[in-house]
Amino acid sequence: MVSGPAAEVAGVDGGAVHRTLAAEITSVRDRRPGEVPRVLDVGGGSGAWAVPLARLGCAVTVVDNSPNALAALQRRARDAGVHELVTPVQGDVDALADVAPAGGADLVLGHGLLEVVDDAAAAVSALATATAEGGAVSVLVAGRYAAVLARALAGRLAEARALLVDPDGRFGPDDALRRRLDAGTLRALLESAGPLRVDVLQGDGVLDGWIPGSVRDGGPSAAREVAELEHLAAAAAPLLDVAARLHAMARRV
């Protein structure tokens, strides 16, 4: 269990992704005692991940191409009292080397990024280049098979079929995402596009979408029970591919 200051980044629900990030920051502090962990959040928007990490004492650089999102990030960081630790930079992953030094970050985040970029392999390579040797890249992507199941249960069978057979896991030209991934495809992408070794591959939102609202809204004890079930399901191989999102932590080697 995450405790102490790291509990802040672990989030209220103790989600699998938050726990993994908290553990990584603890590992960085162990490797470089007395130094501030350096985090690069690519496509980090208004700071949903960056601000909790800054509250943990990390120096976080957020790269995003939206001026509005970066303005919201600055407000959020000021409200949280961590504005001195958060650096907003306008840019994108296609030109990441122009705004982020090679090997400059202990932890690089690309959450919600790989499903929207033109070239996912090039994006992974850029994230890996920005990561210090021994550091980690964290990616969070939309899961293909959860989308198939959701469409099928809603009776949208044509979309479900398209998501299942399309090479990129898209339901058609109106799909806002360029791709959805399964666990095997995500692992292969990370390990082939950069000098990375996948240490963690887990689900995020594995069962939450399938648990009735009446159960999830059943008070603190029900919330804890749901969180504990999600924790167990996150790493269960048969359930991994039906998670709404897939999370991987890959080590720069």
CATH of the domain at 240: 3.40.50.150
Within this chain, do residues 117 and 9 fall inside the same structural domain, yes or no? yes
Are 232 and 209 in contact by the 8 Å Cβ rule? The answer is no
Instruction: Examine the domain organization and report whether 189 and 133 are in the same domain.
Output: yes
pLDDT of residue 244 exceeding 60, the answer is: yes
Domain ranges, residue 159: 144-177
Question: What pLDDT, on a 0 to 100 scale, did the predictor assign at position 210?
Answer: 83
Q: Name the token pair of 160.
A: 């479900």
Residue where one domain finishes, among candidates 177, 200, 222: 177
Angle among Cα 135, 140, 145 to the nearest 5 degrees reads 140
In the chain, count H helices and then E strands. Answer: 11, 7
pLDDT at 136 over 90: yes
- Is 107 buried (19+), middle (13-18) or exposed (0-12) by CB count in 10 A? buried
Residues in the chain: 253
pLDDT at 124: 98
Quote the pLDDT of residue 23.
Answer: 96
Bridge pairing between strands 59-64 and 38-42: parallel
CA gyration radius, the chain: 18
pLDDT digits over 84-110, tens only?
Answer: 999 999 999 999 999 999 999 999 999
Q: 165 and 117 share a domain? A: no
Q: Are strands 131-142 and 38-42 parallel, antiparallel or unpaired?
A: unpaired
Residue 126: pLDDT above 60?
Answer: yes
Residues 149 and 241 placed together within one structural domain of the fold: no
Q: What's the rounded Cα separation, in Å, for the pair 1 and 17?
A: 13
Taking CA 236 as the corner, what is the angle to CA 2 and CA 128, rounded to the nearest 5 degrees? Answer: 65
Q: Tell me which of 177, 201, 224 is where a domain ends.
A: 177
Average pLDDT over residues 224-242: 88
Mean pLDDT within 234-238: 86
| Single-letter amino acid, residue 153 | L
Looking at residue 197, its pLDDT comes to 97
Q: Give residue 219's pLDDT.
A: 86
Quick one: how far is CA 229 from the chain centroid?
20
Could you tell me which of 107, 253, 244 has the C-alpha nearest to residue 191?
Answer: 253
**Can you say whether the dihedral through the CA atoms of 133, 50, 207, 230 is positive or negative?**
positive
Q: Are 245 and 234 in contact (CB under 8 A)?
A: no
For residue 211, with 0-12 CB atoms within 10 Å meaning exposed, 13-18 middle and 19 or more buried, which class applies?
middle
User: What are 21-51's pLDDT values in tens digits?
Assistant: 999 999 999 999 999 999 999 999 999 999 9
Model's pTM, two decimal places?
0.90
Residues 162 and 186 in one domain: no
Q: Whole-angstrom Cα distance, residue 110 to residue 115?
A: 10
The yes-or-no verdict on residue 251 having pLDDT over 60 is: yes
Domain boundary (156, 177, 198) is at 177
Strand 86-90 relative to strand 105-111: parallel, antiparallel, unpaired? Answer: unpaired
Total domain count, the chain? 2
What per-residue confidence (pLDDT) applies to 238? Answer: 85
Kindly state the average pLDDT of the residues 218-232. Answer: 87
Does residue 127 sit in the same domain as residue 225?
A: yes
Segments in 117-193 forming alpha helices (H): 120-129, 144-153, 157-165, 183-193
Query: What is the Cα–Cα distance from 216 to 134, expressed in whole angstroms?
Result: 39
Same domain, 28 and 107: yes
User: What is the predicted pLDDT for the residue at 11?
Assistant: 38
Average the pLDDT over 72-87 and give the result. 98
